[in-house]
Every structure is written in C-alpha cells, then in structure tokens.
Chains A and B, each alone.
Chain A
Amino acid sequence: MNTRSGDETSVTPAVGRGRRTVVATVRGVRSSGAMNSPASGPVLTLRAAGMSFGARVLWSGLDLELQPGEFLAVLGPNGAGKSTLLKAVLGQQPLTSGQLLIGGRGSGRGSDRVGYVPQQKSLDAATPLRARDLVALGIDGHRWGLRRRTAAERRRVADALEAVGATGYADAPIGLLSGGEQQRVRIAQALATDPDLLLCDEPLLSLDLRHQRAVAAMIDRRRRDHDTAVVFVTHEINPVLDLVDRVLYIANGGHRIGPPSEVLTSATLSDLYRTPVDVLNVRGRVVVVGTPDEPGGCSHHDLTPETAQQRTSGAA
C-alpha cells in the first residue's frame, strides 16, 4: 500500500520564536517505490522534542514526522546535538521535553526495527570474527546462551552481504578489511534485521569519494526498495545532496527542517546562525561560508582543498 505518493505532509514550523517559519513539503513522488513494508504511518515521530544538558540547549521544539522510505539528512556543526538526536531515537538518551515515537509507539531500547550504523571506528586487526559473523551478530548478538544459527538466518546474513556488495570478502577477518569495506559490512549488519528505520552516524567519514558515493547509493537503493526510512547524520551534505528528501539543520540551539533547496540557503542559515552566512553553489556542490567558528564548531560542509581555500578567503 502506498500511502506516500504525492503526499503533502506539511512540516510543522521549525522554530517557535521564529522570525521566519519554514514550511516544507515532503518530496513525495518516487520513481521506483516498491512498497513492501507493513508500516504505513510515520516511522519516527518527534513532537516538541527538546534536548538540553543543564543550561545548554541542543535543540528544542523539534517536530518531525519521518515517513517510510524518506531520507533525512541531519546537518550542523560539531556539538550541535546531531549524534545526541540518534541516541534519543535509540532510547539511550531520554528527551528533556516532548515526545518521541517509533512506529507510533514509545521508543524502547534495543528494538530490531531500528538499524544503527555507528560513527566509524576501525575494528581491531585481531578480532576473531569474519565479516559474515559481524553481520550475524546484528541478528542474534543480543540473545543469551549458545545456539546454532538457523539456515534462514544464515541466508539472511548472506543476502545482507550480497546487497552491499560484500560477498567477496564475507569470510575475510573483519579486522583486515579496509575502512570502506568495514563500512559496507556495518551497513549490512544494520540492515540484516530489515529495519523500518536506519540511523547512520557520519557513515561517510574517512571514506574516499568513490566509497562515499557507493555507500550513499547503497543506502538510497535500500530505502527505495524496502521503504526503510533513513536518518543520516553528516557534516558533508554533498555526497547525498541529490538523494535526500529533507534536511534537518541544527545549530545554535535552534534548527530548520525542510527540503535542501529551502534550508540550504543564505537566508535560512544566516537566520539560524544569527550572523551573515553565504551558501554557495559551486560546480554542483554546496559550500557554506562564514559560519561562526565557535569553540568546537565546525563551520564548513566540504573539506576538498579548493572549497576549503575558498572558505578561508571568503571568511577573511
């Protein structure tokens, strides 16, 4: 059942105090939307969600309804609360205020309806696991006691590896794989339970351009074929710019949400940062120039030498 085609889900105004309200519509029409997920309502719902540590507000008044198959990129400087948002969805960090629902129900810890690709950390070379075993842990790693994996489970593992193109090194020691290969295996692990929601924390970090595009394409294919909703935390929007439906930009304790064309504009970001910010479109890449260099703040979205240079000269 396709509940999404041409839907006009309006997104609640992003910030209450706002001088400017962003109302966005979900890009509804999808070219190839094989809908085989039973979920029909929003996969993830945030209502007036807020997160603060003491007096420091990361974000507040966050309203979001993530539909099946939707691709949401979460952007913002370091320390803005992007990873904390994922922790909240995973049930590891309770919201300070508001409500968070997964598939219409309150989030609990450890659901296999949610797949998680953590920030990349390479595995120790002497880990006694093969790629195949790491993926299998995604299916039954939380179960106590000894048991033999069923044929069906082994097939799911093989299918998950196949889907990310990792069959060729399924039996290689996981610690001997390259960063890009490990990242594919992690995505296979996260998808092995066929989750409704996939959370990715900087999945492209430390990958070269070729692997960035491959990983992004893999995730994109997944959500189109299986209607998996994706929350993709990144500080580098360009590799996924043409894939995302909506962008959630968190900065300065505030946020904007909407299609990239509405959020990634000089006006919106200047408003969010409360300082003049320029969003440039250079050779098909988005470059944000002039965000304040706060302590712990990352002010750019692109680390290629040319744009980094451009940014320096622009900021000077």
Chain B
Amino acid sequence: MEGLFDFEDYGALLGLVENSLIAAALLGVVGGLVGVFVQVRDMQFAVHGISELSFAGAAAALLLGGSVALGSVLGSVLAAALIGGLGVRARDRNSVIGVLMPFGLGLGVLFLSLYDGRAANKFGLLTGQIVAVDTVRLGWLVGVSVVVLVGMAVLWRPLMFISVDPEVAAARGLPAGALSVAFTLLLGLAVSLAVQVVGALLVLSLLVTPAAAAFRVTASPVLAPVLSTVFAVVSAVGGILLALGSSIPISPFVTTISFAIYLVCRVVSARRRRSGWGSRTPDEVPAATPAAASIP
C-alpha cells in the first residue's frame, strides 16, 4: 500500500483541485436527488445506457477537438430522448436501452481509437479523472446542474405521484408520458455531469447506489432525498480527496465509498426490520361475522 498513497504535498494539491471539488459536490447533489427517481421508477438500466451514449458523445468531441462537456451532454440528451420517447413502459424501455447501449459503447470505442491525443484523456472518459476542472468547464457543470435542480423541484411531487401510484395519478389528470420524457431528459443531463467526473463506466455509483442506500433506512419522502444527497456528496468529494494522494483514478475511491455506505445501510435496515420497523398498533378490524344478506 505504500506506493499507493502519498499525502506529502496534500495542501498544495488541494488548492489545485478546488474546481474539481466544487464539481464533485454539485454532482453529488444532482445525483443524489435524481437517484431517488431512478430508484422509484426502476431506471437503473437506463442510467447505464445513457452513460454509454454520453461517453460516445464525449469521445466524438475529443476526436473532433470540440468541448468534451458539450459532447457528453449532447450524447446523453440524445439517448434520453430516444429512451424517453420510445419506451414509456418499463419493458419497452429496457429493450430500447439494451439496443442503444452497445451501439453507443461501440461508437465511443471507435472515436477513441481514431483519436491520437493524450491517452489519459481517453481513459478518463471511462473511469473518471480529477484533472483540474477549468473555469469554463466548471461553468458548464454549474449551468447544467442548475437546470436539473430547477427541473426536479418543479416536477418532484407529480413525478413521485405518477411513479408510485400511476393509476390514481392518471385519474387525477397527470400526463404520464410527458412526465416520463421530462424526467428522462433531466436524468440524461445528470448522467452527462457524472460521466465527466467519475467516467462512463461508474456513473451508477453516484446515481443509483446513494439512493438505494437511503431507501434502505428511511421511507420518509423528505429524509430519503436528503440522505441520498449526503451519501452521494460524501462519495464524490471523498473520492477526490482520497484520489489526490494516490496515482489511481478517482472512480475506485468513489465506488468504494458509496458501496461501503450502502453496506452500512443494509446492515442498519436488517437490524431495524428485525426489531420491527413498520410495525404498527394492532388494527381494529372486527372479527368476521357471517353476512346476513339475502335476496328474496
């Protein structure tokens, strides 16, 4: 382990990655909140699918000399539009994703192999990088985050309603299809943020694991997103802080922290259930009496 970590110049390094830390914290907030609905709507597979197309977009931008941030946003929004538009029902959605995902990954590999720039850039798209996020890129990340956060705030309650209780929500006039497309687009934006920080392969660790962990320990509609956000921020920022002192990419640290949080939450929830979480005072249903119904 000795060669792995070196915290000697830590203070100096910290100053260099200030922008990256801000980006990671933002990503944590966005990922934690969006992750709540990834969980509720069962869209983990969609996250993975979108991230592969986002990767293809970023790789194309790298090849063409454009902005990687813009490329990854375009890639994931395109994927989100296809997924949201073609598959509102879970089954359709999954097959659309299954078709798109390998295609996106293949395109990305093609673009990367044509690219003859720095190898670290290529690797970074897949596994994340903490190369100093410059101010322009940070501006992008902040802008996209604000769009996602505002969108989530507007959609939150109706989206929760239609996700957990689709029949009643539709009966109250909520548009299931439009909400699904709108959320998938926001999800696409969130994924493109994550691709730039943790890389395409490990996006799930910030968009799925934190919310899954939070759902283990709370059913409160307020506490669940709060915990999910805290878990995601701790994973992303903690991952960068650990990666700083090492020569390894950021993603193993991020994934390990978020996985550890998940494990702890599972243990806590197993204990709580054993001691009767969700238990209730006995209901007062009268014992069944034979119906004295009859018709002449």
Contact = CB atoms under 8 A, between A and B. Distances in A.
Interface of A: 90-92, 108-112, 114, 116, 118-119, 121, 123-124, 126-130, 133-134, 137-138, 140-146, 165-166, 168-169, 172-177, 180-181, 186, 189-190, 208-211, 213-214, 238-239, 241-242, 260-261, 264, 281, 283-286
Nearest to B153: A146
Interface residues of B, number: 50
Contact of A177 (B154, B277, B278): B278
B219 A173 contact: yes
B144 interface: no
Nearest to A263: B295
Given A130-B219, A173-B278, A142 B173 contact: yes
Given A128-B220, A168-B283, A210-B285, A138 B168 contact: yes
A92 B169 CA distance: 12
Given A110-B172, A168-B283, A285 B164 contact: no
A238 B157 contact: no
Contact of A144 (B154, B225, B284): B154
A285 B291 contact: yes
Interface in B203-232: 214-216, 218-221, 224-225
Contacts of A92: 170-171
A189 B155 CA distance: 21
Given A138-B168, A144-B157, A180-B285, 5 more contacts: A110-B172, A141-B161, A141-B172, A144-B158, A169-B278
A142 B169 contact: yes
Contacts of A281: 294-295
A267 to B, nearest CB: 13
Contacts of A181: 280, 283
Interface in B40-75: 40
A141 B163 CA distance: 11
A173 B154 CA distance: 25
Nearest to B215: A126
Nearest to B290: A284
Contacts of A128: 36, 39-40, 214-215, 218-221, 224-225
Contact of B284 (A116, A165, A213, A285): A165
7 closest residue pairs by CB, A with B? A110-B173, A173-B219, A141-B161, A169-B280, A168-B281, A118-B167, A176-B278
A165 B283 contact: yes
Given A133-B221, A165-B284, A210-B288, A116 B293 contact: no
21 contacts: A116-B168, A127-B219, A130-B220, A137-B168, A141-B165, A142-B161, A142-B172, A143-B158, A144-B155, A144-B157, A145-B153, A165-B283, A168-B283, A169-B281, A174-B219, A213-B289, A214-B285, A284-B290, A284-B293, A285-B291, A285-B293
B156 interface: yes
Given A146-B153, A238-B293, A109 B173 contact: yes
B169 to A, nearest CB: 6
Given A142-B158, A172-B278, A176-B278, A129 B169 contact: no
Contacts of B154: 144-145
